Chains A and B, each alone.
Chain A
Amino acid sequence: DQQVKQNSPSLSVQEGRISILNCDYTNSMFDYFLWYKKYPAEGPTFLISISSIKDKNEDGRFTVFLNKSAKHLSLHIVPSQPGDSAVYFCAARRSGSARQLTFGSGTQLTVLP
């Protein structure tokens, strides 16, 4: 039962353009959504988060949008840089005492110079 889905395994974008990574979820009990970035042979690193009561959160070149009615969130990177090339994981935190994180399967972003 995949509660967090990233349907695009890969995405290629030209340097300087916008990268849009998408994520869908099914569980209404998620209260926070996060994006993690992963380089090869390294652990995931936290990038940006958004509370379920917000619809947008911005941090520099990274903006996350949340559409609760559609159970959809997206990560926008503007402008994209070659150093942004990595696997991006969408994750959702379940409300409740344990607050576990559930991850999507990831999207490999390649920014072409």
Chain B
Amino acid sequence: EAGVAQSPRYKIIEKRQSVAFWCNPISGHATLYWYQQILGQGPKLLIQFQNNGVVDDSQLPKDRFSAERLKGVDSTLKIQPAKLEDSAVYLCASSLVGGGYRFTEAFFGQGTRLTVV
């Protein structure tokens, strides 16, 4: 079974530039997550999609971050303009379902390491 695919693996940009990350979840997974992991910290949820609808984006800095999941499959996360503090690993994850009582774990991609200089 193919895992969660993310690209690019690494990106270096100057502050105030824009950047976009792409994620292709595991086939059939309805729920997709974007996490931000700053060095020395655990992953922090930015946004959660159920199919192509947003379930939770309460921690997404909406003045500069945006995300979309067209057709309920692939997703892109954009930062515009980037700040120095956005330097982090951006992880995409997917799971079969996010709601309901049945437990299903989230599967993570390798992440995109962003460095803002």
Contacts and interface: CB of A to CB of B under 8 A. Distances in A.
A97 B55 contact: yes
Contacts of B105: 34, 46, 49
Interface in A71-93: 89, 91, 93
Contact of B45 (A32, A45, A101, A106): A101
Contact of A100 (B40, B45, B91, B108): B45
A100 B106 contact: no
Interface string A98-111: 11111111100000
A41 B38 CA distance: 14
B67 to A, nearest CB: 15
Interface residues of B, number: 25
B55 A101 contact: no
Contacts of A34: 105
Contact of A44 (B41, B56, B91): B91
A78 B83 CA distance: 44
Interface string B84-117: 0000000101000011100101111111000000
A10 to B, nearest CB: 11
Interface residues of A, number: 27
A41 B110 contact: yes
A100 to B, nearest CB: 5
Contact of B110 (A43, A49, A106): A43
A51 interface: yes
A36 to B, nearest CB: 8
10 contacts: A4-B42, A36-B108, A43-B93, A43-B110, A43-B111, A49-B103, A91-B42, A93-B103, A100-B45, A103-B35
Interface of A: 4, 6, 9, 32, 34, 36, 41-46, 49, 51, 89, 91, 93, 97-106
Given A43-B93, A43-B108, A103-B43, 6 more contacts: A34-B105, A42-B111, A43-B4, A46-B107, A100-B45, A103-B35
